[in-house]
Structure 1
């Protein structure tokens, strides 16, 4: 389906709201400590929230590949708004915990619905790039506003509750599954018979790789501040600069993918981003100069976003109904949820240098299967377009 203004607002907005909890975890933990939680207790509660979000996303993914995506999105966003809203306005640790758990369940449904809707849009690379740009832009604005009005339960959780409520009214604008996917035409059935087994292997492969890759990427992010302080003698002002410029780097990467993704193809940029990311993660464990450390982390975070968007595009291209793009962000959250524990534990046991080597190795391990899955996704995307809209003009990225 072509990308219209209403489809963009709904699809990207719902995905961003569902996924934003992961981006706001640092300020949410600070707000919870002000409410009376210990840092460990707040971190545990937010980890539980993210894990529940991931599990809900995976559990509802199948329902969102059809018309059920509207109901899943509405219920999910309603739970997110009510849960975070209760945590924001009722200053009670128990109510806050219950509300956050409810919101975690709801946000997973929103992520699944938004991911499935993304697959229905033409040119998955461009759509994924715009989605990533929207995410980074909104998160940057929210992270700018919260400190201005003061970090607290009302700001950290209330803003996200309001965004979820706003997104709830846009669910009817989401694109439905492509019409050709619901029929039983012989050419479609033959295509499905030829590719179903290979597509399943590719689909489960990209999900597994994305979860493992998320663990490696977010493990470095979890210890980036501590590493910068202890290894590179970077002060708080320097780390604040790293965070802000990293967000800017993500915006640039998202814009580049949305504008030039079709011209660049999919496989070469993905492999390049993964390879550069692996080198930078290894390098981060050895850098002692503050300025150089700042550059390494910012560039790494930029190429991270490029890889992230292309992996999501692969999942969208494998099946236009959203069978694989619906759970893709859920498996990312699974890997991301364990990243803080993994990153801190490994760095304490073997040091930052060895942590960097381990994280770089994780990226290199997933690079090889993702290379082949990416190439397969191009052909699968072309086959689906030929089967569902024969003779119609449908833009695709060039096969690399």
Structure 2
């Protein structure tokens, strides 16, 4: 019996709550430095610890969400977010704030893992990822406009994330209560055992390794963007917050355009060309010395960043209908995000902000090539059952298994390729002549 797709709203809400901490990273790091008397490198290290905890949760839960149950895992993550970030908001000492950030980060990673697993099982994972990025961009933009007017200190950003987790809690009732028995992609139930091996291992590993460096380069600049605006460009905190809000608003437009564009250009062009454009924006933003240059770099960068990220998440979801690669690649992205603030702080102190931007630009250009190659290698058109042998076995079976044709005629996902056996056919001259005589009356008609 075919399983009914779960509502998309709870998954988008979980995605928003899980990604909110990385999106608020500049204000979190900046306020930790100002409120607790930490150096920029120490504040960046606290942000990295938070995101590292988030990444570790994703790696731990990559293949366990179905076993635990999406609703239970989501509620555990949201509870950890509320407790951890709430503790960090109320804490006045560095150890208490760091401990709360670690617990909250683990909760964020858990919520993101549940959302990624559910999104990968959707009929259109790219559209679901786009809606999630649209939601988190809107929420983060609203907070960047609001927080500077409510006072300083590190309590407000942490309290905002904790509040978001509490608001998402009631929506978890729309998730499955127990272990999921099947997926919902194109109304085809996935019955692979829990211990089934990961498909597309080589492509998945290349994509995961690439997105670590991609995310690290992005967030190395994002983690110090607030300081670039305050110190190098000479702007006030209110002005920097307004620039970030406008930039995230541009991200909303980019994500909307990506959702409307869909798969018309495939995945390789948005990933490769988009990353090249982002590299140029990083170079512009890091060298900004005035409001126009800083705003142009941040707005253009945030316009393209969520577009490329949506295609990367959609590519990861397409590698495994059970969502394991989606969670692993998302966790690899969180790992890169975790390393970003420290890398940005170290590079900016060693080479200055323009030198840091040049290094990050080169890293982005280098990493664009393998990720684009993965998108080209794993892309393909829907196949008919007879074309599996010509197109390459198990990967073709995955694509054919996601079409709307009758499942009885399609190869099973992950099934071994069948050997082609030639059948001997004995043909005699008399049999050919007899077949010709039987066919002649039809030819006259």
User: Please, what TM-score do these two structures have when normalized by structure 2?
Assistant: 0.75
Q: What residue is the counterpart of 2:400 in the other structure?
A: 386
Partner of 1:17: 17
Question: Residues 136-175 of structure 1 correspond to what in structure 2 (within 5 A)?
Answer: 136-151=137-152, 155-174=156-175
The secondary structure found in structure 2 opposite 1:144 is: helix
Q: What is the CA–CA distance in structure 2 between the aligned matches of 1:138 and 1:50, rounded to whole Å?
A: 19
Q: Residues 241 and 75 (structure 1 numbering): CA distance in 2 closer, same or farther, change over 3 Å?
A: closer
Shift of 1:70: 3.4
Aligned-pair CA distance for 1:28: 3.7
Report 1:48-67 matches (<5 A).
48-64=49-65
CA contact under 8 A between 2:144 and 2:242: conserved in structure 1?
A: no
The superposition leaves residues 56-95 of structure 1 with CA deviations (integer Å, 9 ceiling, x where unpaired) of 1111111125564433222222211222234445666655
Matched, 1:291 2:292: yes
Superposed CA deviations along residues 349-385 of structure 1, whole A, max 9, x for unmatched, are 3344433332111111111111121123333987435
Write the distance in 2 (CA, Å) between the matches of 1:158 and 1:230: 27
Distance 1:226 1:150 in 2: 18
Cα deviation code 1:190-246 (max 9, x no counterpart): xx99xx66x111111111111100111112223334445665x44226534431221
Q: Which residue of structure 1 lines up, in the alignment, with residue 411 of structure 2?
A: none
Contact persistence 1:77–1:107 (CA under 8 A):
yes
Closer/same/farther in 2, CA of residues 253 and 92 from structure 1, 3 Å limit: same
Instruction: From the superposition, tell whether residues 356 and 113 of structure 1 become closer, same or farther in structure 2 (CA, over 3 Å).
Output: same
In structure 1, the partner of 2:106 is 105
Q: Which runs of 5+ in 1 are unaligned?
A: 185-191, 394-400
Alpha-carbon distance change, 210 to 74 in structure 1, aligned in 2, over 3 angstroms: same
Q: Distance in 2 between matches of 1:381 and 1:24?
A: 40
CA distance in 1, matches of 2:163, 2:157: 11
Deviation at 1:142, TM superposition (A): 3.0
The residue number in structure 2 matching 1:274 is: 275
The count of aligned residue pairs is 381
Gap runs ≥5 in structure 2:
384-396, 408-445
In 2 relative to 1, CA 169–247 (structure 1 residues): closer, same or farther, beyond 3 Å?
A: same
| C-alpha contact 2:50 2:338 (8 A) present in aligned 1 | no
CA drift of 1:340 comes to 2.1
Match for residue 8 of structure 1? Answer: 8
TM-score for both structures, normalised by structure 1: 0.83
Do structure 1's residue 239 and structure 2's residue 240 form an aligned pair? yes
Mean CA deviation greater in 111-120 or 74-83: 74-83
Which residue number in structure 2 is paired with residue 182 of structure 1? 191
Rg larger in structure: 2
Matching residue of 2:359: 358
Change (3 A) 1:156 1:286: closer
Q: Which has the higher contact order (CA 8 A, sep 6+)?
A: 1
Q: Distance in 2 between matches of 1:66 and 1:363?
A: 37
Distance (whole Å) between structure 1 residues aligned to residue 301 and residue 3 of structure 2:
33
